[in-house]
């Protein structure tokens, strides 16, 4: 359904200049209060209704990365990290063994 059933207005800089916006998230509403020194008057209630139909926004959750689904990509990424970690550990182990062998030859 998207946003097609929600009424909304887009308020620009010309309207918002000189106002604080107050948001009441619990009751899903907001209001405007002029800040000190502002000469802008705040309307008591809406004087017009929106004249355009809000656009319907489609959300595509079928995102792919390099032709793979997100789940497939994450599995491959985790496997690559594990394999690289194992290779690094093997390299460090071999380097330590070589260092011990060189030390024993000198003794």
Asked if residue 51 and residue 2 are part of one domain, the reply reads yes
Cα–Cα distance, 85 to 6 (Å, whole number): 50
Asked if residue 50 and residue 20 are part of one domain, the reply reads yes
Asked if residue 38 and residue 15 are part of one domain, the reply reads yes
| 34 or 44: which leads in pLDDT | 34
- Dihedrals φ, ψ of 90, to 5°? -65, -40
Print the domain residue range for 21. Answer: 1-59
| Region at 58 (left for phi over 0; alpha for psi -120 to 50; beta for the rest) | beta
Asked if residue 42 and residue 68 are part of one domain, the reply reads no
Q: 3-state DSSP: the chain helix, strand, coil percent, rounded to 5?
A: 40, 15, 45
Report pLDDT digits (tens) over 65-101. 788 888 889 999 999 999 999 999 999 999 999 999 9
> pLDDT-derived band of residue 1, with 50, 70 and 90 as boundaries?
very low
DSSP readout, 65-83?
A: ETTEEHHHHHHHHHHHHHH
Total domains, the chain: 2
Would you state the structure tokens that stand for residue 92, as one six-digit string?
A: 């460090």
Q: Is the pTM of this model over 0.85?
A: no
């Amino acid at each position: 359904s998207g946003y097609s059933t929600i009424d909304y207005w887009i308020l620009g800089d010309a309207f918002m200049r000189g106002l604080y916006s107050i948001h009441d998230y619990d009751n899903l509403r907001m209001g405007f209060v002029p800040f000190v020194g502002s000469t802008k008057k705040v309307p008591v209630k809406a004087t017009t209704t929106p004249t355009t139909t809000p656009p319907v926004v489609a959300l595509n959750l079928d995102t792919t990365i390099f032709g793979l689904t997100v789940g497939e990509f994450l599995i491959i990424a985790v496997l690559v990290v594990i394999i690289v970690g194992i290779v690094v550990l093997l390299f460090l182990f071999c380097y330590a063994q070589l260092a011990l062998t060189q030390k024993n030859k000198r003794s």
